[in-house]
Chain A
Amino acid sequence: MCRLLYSLPVALFVVLAAYFGVALVSGRDPHAIPSPLVSEPTPSFELASLDAAALSEEALKGQVTLVNFFASWCLPCRAEHPLLMRLAEQEHVPIYGIAYKDKRADTERFIAGLGSPFRRIGLDEQGRVGVEFGITGVPETFVIDKAGRIRRHYGAPLTADQVRNDLMPLIRELARG
């Protein structure tokens, strides 16, 4: 009984060490906040777009698409931009942009300067559609399946690694299914 009691701290240490070890090795990002919208239907919205037609969630149905929230005032969006261009031009992924809290003229200038990876760009000047999607900043990206359900949420700028190892396999899988 006594020996059992004395080995308790050691046992506690082993349990804690195992817990921290697993948490460290698993690579889980404790700052990542899972979006409750994943596997939910895309929120309905209707936005004026840069060209004449409006952009609504109906435009997203029927194919696997990306929705990318960006803004001309956002530096990480500029950094992410070449990656989106490559996705659109080489992988032919349809990307719909939503300009979050941005003025039309600024969005136009941003696109004119860098080129557009987007099929269409919705203008969310008030940031209300951003709230519907539960974004906390820009850029954020959503993967939407053929049925119009959100399947993945990236709450930070995409990286080349993510695109190769996570995004593209997911898009291929969703396109087959």
Chain B
Amino acid sequence: MKRVLLLLALLVAFAGRAIAVEPNERLADPTLEARARAISKELRCLVCQNESIDDSNAALAHDLRVLLRERLGAGDSDQQVRDFLVGRYGQFVLLRPPVEPATYALWFGPFAVLALGVLGIAVYLRRRAAGEPAPVQLDESERRRLAHLLKEDG
């Protein structure tokens, strides 16, 4: 029983760590491997599209993981590796789109909408505070009718 529990505990502990990177892909040098992992987390798998190549089991993702490790091993900088892939697959390969004129709407659009909303609320509140009309008084006949209705109720 104890052994089963231990096994379960181990399974749970390692379940979250299941990654697509296969042991034989890893580089011997831990700093290079860490760089490779960091880069591959930011690169889109072009077969599954919503996974990074670090997470994906697709054959192309495997090829790209091996390729980027080769290039890092050959002395490329992180940026050179990214540029190599962007040059072939386009910016779509980057999971985090770069900030540039074509993506301004994407990056700043939500803030613009938020600013518009804040502006709208500010205008609304200012107008309400400034121009709130005095409450209208009931006239004599209305007051009599109200008293009558209240009496009827009670």
Contacts and interface: CB of A to CB of B under 8 A. Distances in A.
A120 interface: no
B107 interface: no
A131 B63 contact: yes
A174 interface: no
B90 interface: yes
A35 B60 CA distance: 17
Contact of B89 (A43, A101, A128, A134): A134
B136 to A, nearest CB: 21
B88 A131 contact: yes
Contacts of A133: 88
B90 A35 contact: yes
Interface in B46-64: 46-47, 59-60, 63-64
B135 interface: no
- Dominant secondary structure of chain A at its interface with chain B: loop
A136 B86 contact: no
Interface in A118-147: 126-128, 131-134, 136-137
A35 B92 CA distance: 10
Contacts of A131: 63-64, 67, 88
B87 interface: yes
Interface residues of A, number: 16
B90 A136 contact: no
A36 B88 contact: yes
A134 B63 contact: no
Given A101-B59, A127-B63, A132 B88 contact: yes
B88 A33 contact: no
B128 to A, nearest CB: 13
A137 B63 CA distance: 12
In this complex, the member of B63, B64, B89, B92 whose beta carbon has the largest number of chain A beta carbons within 10 angstroms is B89
A36 B60 contact: no
Contacts of A47: none
8 contacts: A33-B90, A34-B90, A36-B86, A37-B88, A43-B88, A131-B63, A134-B89, A137-B47
